[in-house]
C-alpha cells in the first residue's frame, strides 16, 4: 500500500508543477496592469490640467529639441506667425474627431506656420471628411497675414506593425511625423512637434473643422487587471477540483 501511495505523488505534483508558472504569469500580468492603471490615471490627470489651462507662449526654436524630448504633450500654447500658402499635408484618420465627437474617416489638414524668427511649425488646422478632401472652399479658409494660433502641442506619433507606409510623393500620410512632413514640404527649421489648433467656430461652418484633438483616451487597465486575476483564480479553482477528484479516485 505504501508503494502504491508513493506512486501517486508524481501524478499529483505534476499538474501543480505545470500550473505554478502559468499562475505566476497571470498574476504578474495582473500586477503589471495595476501599475499601468496608476500610470494612466496620473497621465490623464496631467492632460486634463493642461487642456483646460490658459495658453502659454511657445518656447523659442532654440529650445525645441529639449522641449520635444520632455513631457509637453497636450500643453496649451499660443504662437504668432504667417501661414505658408500652397503647402499642406493630409494625414489619414480611419476615425475622425470633431470637437471631441466621432466623425467619418478623413484627414487632418496640416499647414505650416512661419514664425517671426524664420522657424516653421506644422499646425493641425482640423479635420475634413473623405468627401470634402478636395472641396475648393477649404483652401480659401487659410488665413492670410500674421495670425495668432492657440492649441495643444502634440508630439510625433509612433508607428505600429499595422500602420501603412507614408507616401510623400503622393501626399499620403498615415502618421503624424512633423520632421518627415516638413522635409517633404521643404520647410526650413521645422519644429519636431506639431500644434492642434483649437476649435474657433461651429464645426459645420469650418473647412477644416477645428478642435480635432482626440481627448477620449481609453483607460481599460482595471478591467485588464481583473481579467488576469480572474484567470489566475480560475486556474487555482480548476487545479483544486482536479486534485480533489484525483484524491478521491
pLDDT at 99: 53
In angstroms, the CA 120 to CA 49 distance is 27
pLDDT at 114: 96
Q: The C-alpha cell of 228 is what?
A: 488576469
Q: The C-alpha cell of 243 is what?
A: 486534485
DSSP annotation string for 11-46: HHHHHHHHHHHHHHHHHHHHHHHHHHHHHHHHHHHH
DSSP 8-class letter at 63:
G
End-to-end Cα, the chain, rounded Å: 15
In angstroms, the CA 172 to CA 155 distance is 20
In angstroms, the CA 74 to CA 196 distance is 9
- Contact criterion met (CB below 8 Å) for 154 and 195: yes
In angstroms, the CA 207 to CA 125 distance is 9
Question: Can you list the alpha helix ranges (DSSP code H) found in the chain?
Answer: 2-51, 64-68, 136-140, 178-185, 221-248
User: Within a 10 A sphere around the Cβ of 231, how many other Cβ atoms?
Assistant: 17
Mean per-residue pLDDT pooled into runs of 10, the chain (249 residues): 49 82 93 91 82 87 87 90 90 70 77 94 88 73 87 89 85 90 93 88 61 77 93 92 79
What percentage of the chain's residues is helix, strand, coil (to nearest 5)? 45, 25, 30
Domain residue extents for the chain: 2-45+221-248, 57-205
Q: Helix, strand, or coil here: 4?
A: helix
In angstroms, the CA 229 to CA 219 distance is 18
pLDDT at 161: 84
In angstroms, the CA 191 to CA 195 distance is 10
- Contact criterion met (CB below 8 Å) for 142 and 166: no
User: pTM of the prediction?
Assistant: 0.74
DSSP 8-class letter at 1:
-
pLDDT at 72: 87
100: left (phi over 0), alpha (psi -120 to 50) or beta: left
Amino acid at each position: 500500500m505504501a508503494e502504491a501511495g508513493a506512486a501517486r505523488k508524481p501524478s499529483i505534483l505534476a499538474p501543480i508543477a505545470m500550473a505554478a508558472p502559468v499562475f505566476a504569469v497571470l498574476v504578474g500580468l495582473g500586477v503589471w496592469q495595476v501599475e499601468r492603471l496608476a500610470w494612466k490615471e496620473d497621465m490623464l490627470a496631467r492632460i486634463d490640467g493642461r487642456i483646460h489651462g490658459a495658453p502659454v507662449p511657445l518656447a523659442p526654436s532654440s529650445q525645441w529639441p529639449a522641449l520635444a524630448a520632455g513631457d509637453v504633450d497636450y500643453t496649451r500654447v499660443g504662437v504668432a506667425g504667417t501661414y505658408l500658402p500652397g503647402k499642406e499635408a493630409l494625414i489619414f484618420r480611419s476615425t475622425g474627431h470633431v470637437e471631441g465627437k466621432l466623425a467619418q474617416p478623413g484627414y487632418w489638414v496640416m499647414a505650416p506656420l512661419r514664425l517671426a524668427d524664420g522657424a516653421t511649425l506644422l499646425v493641425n488646422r482640423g479635420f475634413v471628411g473623405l468627401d470634402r478632401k478636395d472641396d475648393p472652399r477649404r483652401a480659401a479658409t487659410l488665413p492670410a497675414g500674421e495670425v495668432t494660433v492657440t492649441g495643444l502641442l502634440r508630439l510625433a506619433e509612433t508607428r505600429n506593425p499595422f500602420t501603412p507606409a507614408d507616401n510623400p510623393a503622393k501626399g499620403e500620410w498615415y502618421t503624424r511625423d512633423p520632421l518627415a512632413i516638413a522635409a517633404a514640404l521643404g520647410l526650413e527649421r521645422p519644429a519636431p512637434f506639431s500644434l492642434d489648433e483649437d476649435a474657433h467656430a461651429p464645426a459645420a461652418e469650418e473647412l477644416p473643422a477645428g478642435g480635432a484633438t482626440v481627448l477620449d483616451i481609453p483607460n481599460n487597465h482595471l478591467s485588464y487587471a481583473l481579467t488576469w486575476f480572474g484567470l489566475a483564480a480560475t486556474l487555482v479553482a480548476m487545479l483544486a477540483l482536479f486534485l480533489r477528484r484525483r484524491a478521491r479516485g
